[in-house]
Amino acid sequence: MRILGIETSCDETSSAVVDDGAVLSNIISSQVLHNLYGGVVPEIASRIHTQIISRVVQEALEQSLTKINEIEGIAVTYQPGLIGSLVVGTNFAKGLAIRFGIPLIPIDHIEGHIYSGFLEGEKLDFPFVTLVVSGGHTTLYFVKSVIEYEVIGATRDDAAGEAFDKIAKMLGLGYPGGPLIDKLSKEGDPARYRFPRGLLKSDDFDFSFSGLKTSVRYFLQKEFKGRNLTDKELRDICASAQNAIVEVLVSKSIKALNRFSCKALVIAGGVSANSLLRKKLKEEADKNNFCVIIPKMNYCMDNAAMIAYLGEWKLKLSTSGQFYNYMFRANATPIRSR
Ligand code: KG4
Ligand code: ZN
């Protein structure tokens, strides 16, 4: 089945075409304008989506050599995300679906991430664990089947990506902070400063990164009051903070694999680009005999391929007529938390 995907939940305008699980195109336009403001500005995000969405969708169709009348379903992200951004994508998708009489499949953005481990044709048996770790989420899922999964743990305050971004801001680095901290950490000493590992020893699968953020803030105020950091100090602080975040992510993921007797871990979301996280997870996978799937970056970040892929599955499993109801609404937060 040939499915068109549309994703506009935050600051990426993306469209993709997927056919029988194979990704034929996956166009992602990232809105770099937000970097000037040190974070995503919702109003700017929705305006840019409006300006470029038709071009992005057209490109996805052209690159996959698909005509709109060959599309058998349109999958669109309808929650969670920035409401103005979601409204642009869902309404564009509704317009196309109504005009061409195509079924329209509303997809939860996070569900898209959960199943993104399949996008590169990986052989992945259920059940498995997925860690979605981005600027907005740090959540562990126990995934039993295509439609069945449960949240087993989540951050109680900041997401891991948010912690990277906020610490980078305190250090006077740019936005997004994660890649900058990752780069500086490469020549830093991760053991020089000891920052807190929130909930590391707790008996659940929850995360907490706000204590780390506060600790870095007080540390900087106390130790470096009135003087600039040396280059070495900056790199050591980055490496030490990164180490604290990664240690908790790795430890809780492995605990989840053990507790739920799973042999595969899927990582998704922007923070999965982190080089220390990838290295540590691969080392642990070799040691503990599980497999870790980190999809390539275009499938880890916000993308429409994961939306189209899940849309195809849902359409195949659907009862007839189910997706001809175009009345659903975009939601900033899911109505039903799972
Ligand atoms: O999934 P994503 O592209 O967007 C959403 O949050 O929706 O994730 C962006 C987050 C940002 O917080 C960014 O700092 C973080 O992912 N990030 C990283 C790295 N690359 C991106 N964090 C740590 N290390 C990286 N290499
Ligand atoms: Zn995302």
CB 112 near ligand 1, within 6 Å: no
Q: How far is the CA of 129 from the centre of ligand 1 (A)?
A: 20
CB 193 near ligand 1, within 6 Å: no
For residue 132, the SS3 value is strand
Residue 240 pLDDT: 98
**Residue with the two structure tokens 């950490």:** 185
**Residue with the two structure tokens 């990582």:** 267
DSSP letter at 36 equals G
| Euclidean distance between CA atoms 78 and 89, whole angstroms | 8
Residue 337 pLDDT: 42
Q: Which residue, 190, 94, 191, 206, is CA-closest to 140?
A: 206
CB 11 near ligand 1, within 6 Å: no
Which residue has a Cα nearest atom 5 of ligand 1? 135
Decide: 311 and 127 in contact? Cβ < 8 Å: no
CB 164 near ligand 1, within 6 Å: yes
Q: How far is the CA of 42 from the centre of ligand 2 (A)?
A: 15
For residue 328, the SS3 value is coil
**Residue with the two structure tokens 């938390």:** 337
Residue 147 pLDDT: 80
Residues 171-225 pLDDT 10s: 999 888 999 999 999 999 999 999 999 999 999 999 999 999 999 999 999 888 7
Is the pTM here over 0.85, yes or no? yes
For residue 7, the SS3 value is strand
41 contact partners, CB below 8 Å, separation of at least 6 = 34
CB 40 near ligand 1, within 6 Å: no
Q: At what angle are helices 177-185 and 160-170 packed, to 10 degrees? A: 70
| Euclidean distance between CA atoms 301 and 295, whole angstroms | 9
What does pLDDT average to in each consecutive run of 10 residues of the chain (338 residues)?
Answer: 96 96 95 80 92 97 97 97 96 97 95 90 88 93 91 95 96 92 97 94 95 95 85 97 98 96 94 95 93 90 96 90 86 64
The secondary structure of 208-255 as a DSSP string is: --HHHHHHHHHHHHHHSTTSPPPHHHHHHHHHHHHHHHHHHHHHHHHH
- Find the distance separating the first CA and the last CA of the chain, reported in whole Å: 29
Q: How far is the CA of 269 from the centre of ligand 2 (A)?
A: 5
Q: How far is the CA of 324 from the centre of ligand 1 (A)?
A: 35
CB 134 near ligand 1, within 6 Å: yes
Q: In this structure, which ligand is nearest to the CA of 12? A: 1
Strands 2-7 and 291-293, by their bridges, are: unpaired
Which residue has a Cα nearest atom 14 of ligand 1? 178
Q: How far is the CA of 161 from the centre of ligand 1 (A)?
A: 5
Q: Which residue, 187, 193, 131, is CA-closest to 159?
A: 131
Q: How far is the CA of 270 from the centre of ligand 2 (A)?
A: 7
Q: How far is the CA of 26 from the centre of ligand 1 (A)?
A: 19
Q: In this structure, which ligand is nearest to the CA of 306? A: 2
Which one of 12, 271, 277, 303 would you pick to mutate in the ligand 1 pocket, going by the greatest count of ligand atoms within 8 A of its CB? 271
| Euclidean distance between CA atoms 16 and 1, whole angstroms | 13
Residue 250 pLDDT: 97
For residue 13, the SS3 value is strand
193 contact partners, CB below 8 Å, separation of at least 6 = 219, 236, 237, 240, 241
Which residue has a Cα nearest atom 10 of ligand 1? 135
DSSP letter at 119 equals T
Residue 335 pLDDT: 54
Dihedral of CA 268/137/130/214: which sign?
Answer: positive
Structure tokens, 158? 């900041």
Structure tokens, 12? 């990426």
Residue 338 pLDDT: 37
